[in-house]
Every structure is written in C-alpha cells, then in structure tokens.
Amino acid sequence: MQSLNSMRILLTGGTGFVGRHVLRELLAKGHQVRALVRRGGAPEGFEGEQVEVVRGDVNGSLGPFMDDIDGIIHLVGIIEEVPAQNVTFDALHTRATQNVANAARIACIPRLVFVSANGAEPYGKTKYQTTKWAAEEAVRNSDLDHWCILRPGLIFGDPGREREEFCTMLSRTLIKPFPVLPVFGSGQYKLQPVSVEEVAAATVQALTLSDAHGKTVPVLGTKRFTYIALLDVITRALGMKPKPKIKLPLSFVHAGMRFAGGLLPITPDQLTMLIAGNIGDESDFYGLFQVTKYPFNEENLGYLRLRV
C-alpha cells in the first residue's frame, strides 16, 4: 500500500467532462492513475502524461484492473439513454456502480469515491434520479473502509474540444442562434451552479479525508440563480447583451416534445428536473473540503467564447 500522499487510483469515466478535470487533479496531487476506458487511448489532453490506460467494460469483469490499486473514483454516468446501444440509466448508473463496489470489496480496496447527482432519491420523478439513488445505495452498503458520495448540481467549466456541458449546450443550441430566447414555463426555477474545478478538487480530497467517510455531500455553489438570470449571465459571457425572452407554457413544451422530441436540445426527463430546480445546502461541501471558489460569472465562463 502506498502512502496517502501518493496512491494508485483506478478512475472510471476519465474521458468525460468531469473525468478529465479529476484526472488532472489526481496527477497534480502526485497520484498514479489507471484509467478504465471503453475504447481508445488516453483522455483528450493527457496523451503525453503518465496515465495507465486499460480497456474494459465497467459492467464486465473488473478484477484484472484492481491489482495494486489503493482507491477508486467512479464517475461513469449518462444524461440521456440510447437503449439500442445498451446505454441506459439502469446499466450505467445502477448496475455499473454495483459492479464497481462489489469488485472493490472482493479486492479489499479500502477507498471508493462515487460522484452521483444532486436530486438523487428513491422515489424521484425520473429514472435518472432513481437509478442514481440505487447506485448510491450500492456504495453505502459496500462495507468498505472509506467511502464518500458527492452529489454535484449543475456543473460548469471548460468541457474541452470534444465535449459539452450545460452552458456550452445552451449557448450553441439556444442563446447564439435565437434573437428571442424561449423559456420553459416561468423561468423562475432556481439553479446553484458549481465549477468543475471545485468538483474535481473535492473528489480527490474525498479519497483521503477522514471526515468525508460515510458522507453523502451535496456539491453546490454559493449563489442561486433563476433560470432566466442564468441565461443572462451566459449571454453576457458570450459578449452579447441579454436577449428578450418568451415564456412557453409547459403544456405546449410537453406537446412539442411528443411530436418533435429528437429536434429539441432537452429530453422530457431533463425538462422535469430543470423546472423542479436544483439547489440545496452548500455548507457541508465548503465546510468539509478546501477548494478555491469559482463564482458563476462572466469571467469564469470565458471558455464559452472558445468552445461555441
């Protein structure tokens, strides 16, 4: 077993938006990383780094990847299903996390950090929420020496050339092309954005922070925005003046999804979660973890001009 200052970490989901930032943080803190990927090589931007890339299925046999591992960071997750490719919430949230937790227990790996989602609950309105909850339960029942579950809300930050996050998606599909911005319902539902840098820093700290053991922590920023206010911040970050809005009745939006769902930049489940809001108490997060705060503002959204 290596010292806590330098461990060998198995990272799942390292090619994704949050995963690349977590990978960068792990390397910066001196850890060695074994990145489990489905296909391809090192994550974008890490081709020359000392990252051990192993190819495998997160729902397959994980035993061969557990040798000499001191801890696991499990990030695999999706926001939309593609059933024809077996990309489902059940498969990649619940079963994948059960498989990872079970493999960690069998291999006697003492540490597991799982990045879930704010709003996970057993009786949620969407499968996204309920499968995230079931995944959390697999971690809570894993009987590992040290585990922590982080629940980020809306994450913003530079997604790189090959990915999008919520703000780049909104910029590309809504804010830049339309002179008047459609708003789902009242637009007064609230969001509490948190930077990907803060999420990544907390995820790596959670591996070794004794006070994080056994905790399920909401990971949320310090300020709440209505959806309309959030649109205005993003618009200014793109170098434009805030645009007029038109509020669409939710009945009209739902009807549009039934007839043209594939043409809209949001799924019915995503709409359900959006209008429910995504906020919470951030005090545990900032009380537990030592992170540099990146407020949701035009300066910290500067990456949008490069990516959109």
pLDDT tens profile 137-178: 999 999 999 999 999 999 999 998 878 899 999 999 999 999
DSSP single-letter state for residue 227: H
Look at residue 241 and tell me if it is in a domain. no
Q: How confident is the model at residue 30 (pLDDT cuts 50, 70, 90)?
A: very high
Helix, strand, coil share (%) of the chain residues, nearest 5: 40, 20, 45
Question: 306 or 267: whose pLDDT is higher?
Answer: 306
Helix (H, G, I), strand (E, B) or coil at 31: coil
Of 157, 123, 154, the residue nearest 218 (C-alpha): 154
Q: What is the pLDDT of residue 164?
A: 86
Look at residue 239 and tell me if it is in a domain. no
Look at residue 47 and tell me if it is in a domain. yes
The model's pLDDT over 188-226, given as tens digits with 9 standing for 90+, comes to 999 999 999 999 999 999 999 999 999 999 999 999 999
Q: How confident is the model at residue 123 (pLDDT cuts 50, 70, 90)?
A: very high
Look at residue 260 and tell me if it is in a domain. no
Terminal C-alpha separation, the chain:
45
Contacting residues for 173 by C-beta, under 8 A, at least 6 apart: 265
Q: Which helix (H) or strand (E) holds 274?
A: helix 268-276
Give 154-194 as a DSSP string: SEES---SS---HHHHHIIIIITT-SSEEEETTS--EE--E
Domain span at residue 29 reads: 8-153+195-220+281-291
Look at residue 174 and tell me if it is in a domain. no
Look at residue 143 and tell me if it is in a domain. yes
Look at residue 287 and tell me if it is in a domain. yes
Looking at every residue in the chain, the average pLDDT score rounds to 93
Look at residue 37 and tell me if it is in a domain. yes
Domain of 199: which CATH number? 3.40.50.720
Q: How many domains does the chain have?
A: 1
Answer yes or no: are the C-beta atoms of 220 and 279 closer than 8 Å.
yes
Q: Which helix (H) or strand (E) holds 96?
A: helix 96-106
Q: Which helix (H) or strand (E) holds 272?
A: helix 268-276
